[in-house]
Structure 1
């Protein structure tokens, strides 16, 4: 339904770089990234509010790169929705219907309002609405415009938790009704809750596009790894060790023995903090990885304490309060960190 090919865009010092993706009819595509990485610029280029400096955009099989927003039949909804403050809710929803010369406006406004749960406040002005009510009206107006693709720019960011939950349910219902949605956010819980496909955006580029399950179980960016609570995330190279069933993972400042059947080459490694032990001396036993380092941070966790140790790279281990006391762990102390080769999760 929508296809972007090598879209680049420069605004001041910021630029989008060779954006490529395709969205099928009925998809719910969430673009996830921190503030300032270019998510809103990307939406506005799709909508026709900003023209890309290079590349092409195709919508419903037609090349639309230079077409105006009025010719694209897409709806864009911002975090701070842009309802007309002097019009009632009814009049705001009716606005695109009047512009298109539609008949039976009252009937269509009521149908759109009922679909999003806004029928009870049709005679109110936007200034009297809560954040959740305001976004419902914006969605109703988009429905009234009869567009089958919605572009949502952080639509839930300013809402309380109850309103967020209700709006998520509504967005899922709209998507199931046949509306294709592209939704940008910095909130990974929104991506998990809503998306059929996720794109991770960093520094003006889409670095990973896949299903939510793939993106969050095999993160390919430190940004996503931190979002989902992966404390030890490394990008490096894997190579076979001759005459051994182990392989060696190498990244800046660290070399780790791993037990994996992943092919040699560039890979990602994650290691859960609870798989790492801390000791005063190198441990004897089944652990193949032993590193001497210095504690640089200690932080309380939901259970126990997270101990950050610098070994050339930083590793975070989870220890109990009892272990922290017995080992007399404190910032600046030299310790050993130990973990098994089989504890390393390796993927491409």
Structure 2
């Protein structure tokens, strides 16, 4: 559907270098990277607001690289939302329809349908300056979707919202995508990727380092940067959840193992992950209070910048990061039987929205 082919853009202090990827109909594609990696610039090039120095953008087989933004049928939502402060909610949502000279009946019907979809019908006569942050987000999304764009472009839409609103907007975006809208979403937060993305591209210093499904990218990083930035080598899909009254939850993993963790809110689908440095290794199974203890065999040990990474096969792959002193004390090597322990409060549950 959308092909980004060898896009490059050279600025005095930054270069976007030969970025290539493809997006299919109904994909939820997320560009993940740190601040200054070129994510927003790439989004602006795709939208037509910035012209690249070289490369092509193909949309349904047509070259739109030089097409003006208004002719691309792409909707972009900026981080600052860019609502019109002098207009009420109705007129903000109606703006792109009026620019296209739609009839009054179509404008009214479309605005009311979107307002109902985003639960803001009661706000249509209010000025946007009086709205809460979440209400402004909903108005901005409704306005962006009013012209029925083929692709929705989102620039860090969740970066400035509180935790509850964060979940609400993620659910809204997932619903929009499931109703058929293709989405390209820029973020620096890998948890958003886990919850929302069908595919992800990792960008750093203007270069697209890896593209694939989130599980593939996070479990099999192809570069040191991807591994460190995502920080999610111990990352597993949950098969089932069993909650206890005291807030402890047991997650069943697809390979027959169970991981315990604490959480206040339960979602039917999601992932668990835990950092490598939270994994404690022992050559003997000790009597301890740790709920998560996995027996396995070491398959590899290799040096990292700050210590050593130990890969354990426990029926699934567990990665641990230990110091040189710990490596010498344990006296371990490939093939050594090992017990990997992870405290329940070190395990994170990330819902799949």
TM-score, structure 2 normalization: 0.69
Deviations 1:121-161 (A, max 9, x none): 11122221222211111110112112121100000100001
- In the alignment, the residues of structure 2 paired with residue 343 and residue 216 of structure 1 have an alpha-carbon distance, to the nearest angstrom, of 26
Distance 1:97 1:343, change over 3 A: farther
Q: Which residue of the partner structure matches residue 72 of structure 1? A: 72
- In the alignment, the residues of structure 2 paired with residue 150 and residue 141 of structure 1 have an alpha-carbon distance, to the nearest angstrom, of 11
Q: Which residue of the partner structure matches residue 339 of structure 1? A: 332
Deviation at 1:231, TM superposition (A): 8.2
Q: Secondary structure at the match of 1:81?
A: coil
Q: Secondary structure at the match of 1:29?
A: strand
2:142 is equivalent to residue 140 of structure 1:
yes
2:103 is equivalent to residue 100 of structure 1:
no
Q: Secondary structure at the match of 2:16?
A: strand
- In the alignment, the residues of structure 2 paired with residue 46 and residue 343 of structure 1 have an alpha-carbon distance, to the nearest angstrom, of 51
Q: Which residue of the partner structure matches residue 18 of structure 1? A: 18
Query: Following superposition of structure 1 onto structure 2, how do residues 220-259 of structure 1 map, counting pairs within 5 Å?
Result: 220-229=222-231
Alignment RMSD: 3.1
Deviations 1:249-279 (A, max 9, x none): xxxxxxxxxxxxxxxxxxxxx977636559x
Q: Is the 8 A contact 1:273 1:317 kept in 2?
A: no
Q: Is the 8 A contact 2:88 2:126 kept in 1?
A: yes
Distance 1:152 1:334, change over 3 A: closer
Deviation at 1:225, TM superposition (A): 2.7
Distance 1:277 1:314, change over 3 A: farther
Question: Whose radius of gyration is greater, 1 or 2?
Answer: 1
Q: Secondary structure at the match of 1:141?
A: helix
Distance 1:228 1:122, change over 3 A: same
Q: Is the 8 A contact 2:218 2:233 kept in 1?
A: no
- In the alignment, the residues of structure 1 paired with residue 71 and residue 301 of structure 2 have an alpha-carbon distance, to the nearest angstrom, of 63
Deviation at 1:10, TM superposition (A): 1.4
Q: Is the 8 A contact 1:150 1:180 kept in 2?
A: yes
Q: Secondary structure at the match of 1:8?
A: strand
Distance 1:315 1:124, change over 3 A: same
Q: Is the 8 A contact 1:275 1:343 kept in 2?
A: no
Distance 1:172 1:54, change over 3 A: same
272, 276, 279: which one pairs with 1:274? 279
Query: Following superposition of structure 1 onto structure 2, how do residues 1-348 of structure 1 map, counting pairs within 5 Å?
Result: 1-103=1-103, 104=105, 105-229=107-231, 274=279, 276=281, 313-315=305-307, 336=328, 338-342=331-335
Q: Is the 8 A contact 2:308 2:324 kept in 1?
A: no
- In the alignment, the residues of structure 1 paired with residue 23 and residue 301 of structure 2 have an alpha-carbon distance, to the nearest angstrom, of 46
Deviation at 1:119, TM superposition (A): 1.6
Q: Is the 8 A contact 1:109 1:144 kept in 2?
A: yes
Deviations 1:207-231 (A, max 9, x none): 1100011011112244443355458
Distance 1:83 1:312, change over 3 A: closer
Task: Pick which of 331-340 and 110-119 moved more.
Answer: 331-340
Q: Which runs of 4+ in 1 moved over 6 A?
A: 270-273, 286-291, 331-335
Distance 1:162 1:230, change over 3 A: closer
Q: Is the 8 A contact 1:78 1:154 kept in 2?
A: yes
- In the alignment, the residues of structure 2 paired with residue 198 and residue 289 of structure 1 have an alpha-carbon distance, to the nearest angstrom, of 28
TM-score, structure 1 normalization: 0.70
Deviation at 1:287, TM superposition (A): 7.4
- In the alignment, the residues of structure 1 paired with residue 301 and residue 198 of structure 2 have an alpha-carbon distance, to the nearest angstrom, of 41
Deviation at 1:339, TM superposition (A): 3.3
Distance 1:316 1:100, change over 3 A: same
Distance 1:194 1:333, change over 3 A: closer
